[in-house]
Amino acid sequence: MIYSESAYRVTYYLDPATGNSPVHDLLLKLPIKDRSKVMKYIEVLRQYQGVLDQPLSRHINGKIRELRVDFGCHRYRIFYFTFINQNIILLQAFQKSSSATPHREIVKAQQAYNNVINNRELYE
């Protein structure tokens, strides 16, 4: 079997209504130390081709997974899925403040996922 040496890439989902990226927007609001930590986790996700097990990642629904960034009292979550052409799409991000993942965040991620699937030419 021949393996491709091309690397996976990470792409931010862009909301078609606003043109903004929920993940990128959250990253810009974080203190530099927190942002660096989250970016390190995203790089690990890319290096492992979108396949991480618990405690770093957890299945949410369908193809959507959750990248779990925990350090100190800070807990961030990024919903993502692995798309065609070795592309990891970062859908939604939030700072977690309770033990359960808020249902509204899962709904936002599902809507973003559906937007990507319906506009796949933008992400290929």
Pairwise CA distance, residues 96 & 34, whole Å: 13
pLDDT reported for residue 6: 64
Is residue 78 within 8 Å of residue 90, measured between CB atoms? yes
Q: For 13-71, what is each residue's pLDDT tens digit?
A: 999 889 999 999 999 999 999 999 999 999 999 988 888 888 889 999 999 999 999 98
pLDDT reported for residue 99: 81
Q: Which CATH class is domain 9-118?
A: alpha beta
Backbone angles phi, psi at 96, to 5 degrees: -85, 135
pLDDT reported for residue 1: 38
Task: Tell me which residue of 41, 111, 108, 117 sits closest to 82, measured CA to CA.
Answer: 117
Q: For 98-117, what is each residue's pLDDT tens digit?
A: 888 889 999 999 999 999 99
Pairwise CA distance, residues 2 & 6, whole Å: 12
Strands 87-95 and 9-12: parallel
* Buried-exposed string 29-52: b where 16+ CB fall within 10 A, e elsewhere: ebeeebeebbeebbeebeeeebeb
**What's the pTM value of the predicted model, to 2 decimals?**
0.89
